[in-house]
Amino acid sequence: MHSAVQLIELGAIILALGLLGAVSVRFSISPIPLYLIAGLAFGSGGILPLTDSEEFVSIGAEVGVILLLFTLGLEYTAPELVGTLRTSAPVGLADLVLNAAPGVAVALILGWGPVAAVAMGGITYVTSSGITAKVIGDLGWLGNKETPAILSILVFEDLVMAAYLPILTALLAGAGLLGGAAALGIAAATITVILFIALRHGTLVERFVSSPSEEVLLLKVLGLTLLVAGIAQQLQVSAAVGAFLVGIALSGPLAHTAQKLLAPLRDLFAAVFFVFFGLHTDPADLPPVLGIAALLAVTGVITKMGSGWIAARRAGVATTGRLRAGAALVPRGEFNIVIAGLAVSAGISASLGPLAAAYVLMLAVTGPVLARGIVPLAERLRLKRARHRGPQTDDAPLPATLTDNTAQDATTGP
Amino acid sequence: MDVERTALPGIGLQHIMTTARGRQLGVISHRTGRRDLVVYDKEDPDSSIVTVALSADEASAIAELLGTGRVVEHLAELHRQVEGLVTQKIPITPGSPYDGHALAETRCRTRTGASIVAVVREGQVIASPRPDFVFNAGDVVVAVGTGEGTVAVTQILSNG
């Protein structure tokens, strides 16, 4: 029989997360850094260590990762993924090289070895699509011309994750280069099969899952996702990727309903995951890595600004839009922690966890702030080129063809 | 007029239209049925200055408002063509031979087949003026008739 202490601890943790969430809503910031800090406070070496509910929290954290990836897969339909791969590959690759390089370099310089370098590359590379989407929505940037370019980069990064996570999982399991290649082969084959099913026979999956009852649909979708994730884990392809692929296979109105149904579950378990990561990071380990984390964060801002600049320029967007695209891509968040979580649980370098936590804490907070500040900055640059901004009416003289028509209308009256 | 269409992965579609005056307007169609009406900055066409989120119902109400006007104009145009009638506004200039003379003296209907149906004087409309109505410089005469007839009325009122 479970002790009451476990329930009390669990309740206290979730209540604390709720209060932190309220703070994040009030100041319109991402709750992820707050959850991490809560985890640090409750974990080993924290101010209020909680240990009894750890079993639940660790399972909850795994479910959180699976649901994060599953809902990410739901966001995009298979044709969108394939289309983006065709059109944005050069920009996506530039983004990959620019942003993974600093992490890889730091891991190698610190002598953590090649496997840690692969993990660190992933940690500095991925933008938090959740935070970026929120920034774009909050600042009313959705209509801007650079937004399609930003979204394409996010889609491309997710595709890279689908290939990267299985490789990382294999490498972390100590499979070596050959095992890594085999894992990549299996992953590539699985992804191809799933994409094929989703593109050609998407209706089959949907017919199996769909149900007029929301309850039945929820259970079917959640069950299918966890099952596929577990099988993928067994095949050394990483549970997260399995869940991501299930998300892609579901599309259309069904995906929309599933997203709505699973969003509360995802929010709960994702929060548990961030706390879990914080729990396993000893706050005493943070100060020694702060310097490196700050250095990586500054580099991370510069390299993402570069990615945004390139992507927006390719879309034919001028300076202001290019700066906005870069700033929108700066935030790091959930997937960087997912990657670090995989590496930490495999027992890779002890400093990697704290470093990733500090890095994400810095960029998840400064990213949105930077995005808010970039437009006034760009505006000032533009105003320097001396232009007066009057009310935006359409008083400009009409082109000749239109004037003719209106003149005729005036004389021929009612 | 060209409408540019771009996919927004994970969100829906973006349509951007450039008007004859060079302004850009956009509509973002969300998969959820939400529509965003976007107005772009005049000086920086990459940036949206106003974004109005509309529910599916609101969007179709606006579409109806924008569309109905054109339908009415179209009907009016059709009506004109069917009737073969033209309405013309003709000013009485200070040098006009009929400045200070009665409407009957112009013998417009006999000479041209077109009728003078109204006179606009100092912003007021005098409908169906009587034959003894006296024109003043600055009046605007409204004549209805065939295209030829109304042109002839213009000739009479300015040259006699």
State pLDDT tens for residues A70-109.
888 888 777 778 888 888 889 999 999 999 999 999 999 9
The CA angle A307-A246-B13, to the nearest 5 degrees, is: 50
Higher pLDDT, A217 or A176: A217
CA A222 distance to own-chain centroid? 21
pLDDT of amino acid A413:
38
Residue A321 is nearest to which of B14, B20, B46, comparing CB atoms?
Answer: B46
CA B131 distance to own-chain centroid? 31
- CA nearest to A204, candidates A251, A243, A262, A260: A251
pLDDT higher than 80, residue A51? no
CA distance A42 to B47: 44
Task: Quote the percentage of chain B above a pLDDT of 70.
Answer: 89
The CA angle A317-A85-A71, to the nearest 5 degrees, is: 95
- Closest-CA residue in chain B for A149? B8
Dihedral angle of Cα A88, A94, A100, A104, to the nearest 10 degrees: 140
- Closest-CA residue in chain B for A393? B42
B80/A412 Cβ within 8 A = yes
Residue A144 is nearest to which of B20, B32, B47, comparing CB atoms?
Answer: B47
pLDDT of amino acid A179:
67
Which of the 8 DSSP states describes residue A284?
G
- Closest-CA residue in chain B for A73? B10
Residue A76 is nearest to which of B9, B86, B89, comparing CB atoms?
Answer: B9
pLDDT range class, residue A410, cuts 50, 70, 90: very low
pLDDT higher than 80, residue A228? yes
Kindly report, residue by residue over A296-334, the tens digit of the pLDDT. Answer: 999 999 999 999 999 999 988 988 899 999 999 999 988
- Chain B residues close to A156, C-beta within 8 Å: none
pLDDT range class, residue A393, cuts 50, 70, 90: low
- Chain B residues close to A75, C-beta within 8 Å: 9-10
CA distance A132 to A86: 23
pLDDT of amino acid A359:
94
pLDDT of amino acid A175:
62
Q: What is the mean pLDDT of residues B132-142?
A: 87
- Chain A residues close to B9, C-beta within 8 Å: 75-76, 80, 84, 148, 151-152, 154-155
* End-to-end alpha carbon distance in chain A: 87
pLDDT range class, residue A182, cuts 50, 70, 90: confident
pLDDT of amino acid A105:
95
Task: Quote the percentage of chain A above a pLDDT of 70.
Answer: 86
**H/E element holding B82?**
helix B56-83
The CA angle A132-A137-A140, to the nearest 5 degrees, is: 120
| Nearest-CA distance A121 → chain B (Å) | 25
Residue A413 is nearest to which of B45, B49, B89, comparing CB atoms?
Answer: B89
Question: Is the four-CA dihedral B141, B146, B149, B151 of positive or negative sign?
Answer: positive
Residue B9 is nearest to which of A144, A152, A320, comparing CB atoms?
Answer: A152
Q: What is the mean pLDDT of residues A210-221?
A: 87
State the count of interchain CB pairs (< 8 A) between A and B: 93
* Domains of chain B and any CATH numbers: 3-81 (no CATH), 86-159 (3.30.70.1450)
Dihedral angle of Cα B31, B32, B33, B35, to the nearest 10 degrees: -80
CA distance B152 to B106: 11
- Chain B residues close to A380, C-beta within 8 Å: none
Token pair in block for residue A266:
């995802």
Beta bridge partners of B5: B15
Lowest-pLDDT choice from A83-87, A329-333, A344-348, A378-382: A378-382
Kindly report, residue by residue over A29-44, the tens digit of the pLDDT. Answer: 788 888 888 888 877 6
pLDDT of amino acid A306:
95
Mutate to test the interface with B, among A145, A392, A394 (most CBs of B within 10 A): A145
B80/A392 Cβ within 8 A = no
pLDDT of amino acid A106:
93
B21/A142 Cβ within 8 A = no
Kindly report, residue by residue over A111-121, the tens digit of the pLDDT. Answer: 888 889 999 99
Alpha helices in A250-387, H assignment, sequence order: 252-279, 286-314, 319-329, 334-345, 352-384
SS3 B30: strand
pLDDT of amino acid B94:
83
pLDDT of amino acid A176:
62
Kindly report, residue by residue over A249-283, the tens digit of the pLDDT. Answer: 787 778 888 888 898 999 899 888 888 888 888 88
How does DSSP assign A104-163, residue by residue?
HHHHHHTT--HHHHHHHHHHHH---HHHHHHHHHHTT-TTSTTHHHHHHHHHHHHHHHHH
pLDDT range class, residue A244, cuts 50, 70, 90: confident
Higher pLDDT, B75 or A143: A143
- Closest-CA residue in chain B for A388? B43
Q: What is the mean pLDDT of residues A150-175?
A: 84
B9/A155 Cβ within 8 A = yes
A141/B6 Cβ within 8 A = no
CA distance A30 to A333: 9
**H/E element holding A248?**
helix A239-249
**Edge-to-edge, what's the strand order for the sheet holding B35-40?**
B3-8, B12-18, B24-30, B35-40, B48-54
Token pair in block for residue B156:
């009479």
- CA nearest to A341, candidates A123, A14, A126: A123
Helix (H) and strand (E) counts in chain B: 4, 9
pLDDT higher than 70, residue B81? no
Token pair in block for residue A394:
């359409």
pLDDT of amino acid A73:
82
Beta bridge partners of B30: B12
- Chain A residues close to B24, C-beta within 8 Å: none
- CA nearest to B152, candidates B103, B104, B114, B107: B114
Higher pLDDT, A249 or A355: A355
CA B30 distance to own-chain centroid? 35
| Nearest-CA distance B136 → chain A (Å) | 21
pLDDT of amino acid A290:
92
Distances (CA, A) of A145 to A14, A141, A319, B40: 40, 9, 12, 9
| Nearest-CA distance A183 → chain B (Å) | 28
Token pair in block for residue B158:
């300015």
